[in-house]
Amino acid sequence: MDMPQRSQDVALLPCRHVSLDMAHFLARRISEFSALTVEVLAPWELPREAFHELRGQYHVGLVLEALEKMSAEESYRRLVAVVAQDLFLPIFTHVYGEARLSGRVAIVSLYRLEAAQDGVVPTRQMIRERAAKVVIHELLHTFGLTHCRHAGCLMQPVTTIPGLDSLHIRLCRSCANLWSTIRPGILSPKPP
């Protein structure tokens, strides 16, 4: 009897303005952190209807809806889009990322992660590490992890670049315990 094949765990979907080097770096960081398999998909375009002319930003909720439609019939368990454009929710001026809690899709924007802060232009490595933190944070939301109050935990909500820079890619004990109970179910093959 053949062993059931495990579907791709995570598909990383870069928009056409995100370098493939960045996409592959993020795929490696996801895999290193989680032991999930990650495939980098061909670049895509953000849906035009999600663009808000007055704000000059993309409505993240509308983009997530488009991603949900895109992922509905695919074999991967999660879809994470990485875009270069600025994202917003009506109640926030911007968001670094957003995910459907316990859903299949998430999105991360590099736009503000690449911006200079207090006159300091971030290095390539700083941008990559910021992006990895946000991507893994949002991906973990799709597996049911919520925001955490423990200082330094990757699941802590972050609204500033200095706050993001102060985090490490690690979970507090509570979040790590929750992740350790969820992860084995993800790594098991899907039945045929």
d(CA 98, CA 41): 19
Which residues are CB-contacts of 120 (< 8 A; sequence separation ≥ 6)? Answer: none
Which residues are CB-contacts of 32 (< 8 A; sequence separation ≥ 6)? Answer: none
**Count of H-run helices and E-run strands, the chain:** 5, 9
Catalytic residue among 49, 74, 98, 138: 138
User: How many residues would you count in the chain?
Assistant: 192
Cα–Cα distances (Å) from 168 to 75, 110, 143, 153, 156, in that order, read 31, 18, 20, 7, 11
Is residue 68 among the annotated active site residues? Answer: no
d(CA 61, CA 165): 26
Which residues are CB-contacts of 134 (< 8 A; sequence separation ≥ 6)? Answer: 96, 97, 108, 113, 164
Q: What is the Rg, in whole angstroms, of the alpha carbon atoms belonging to the chain?
A: 16
Q: Which residues are catalytic?
A: 138
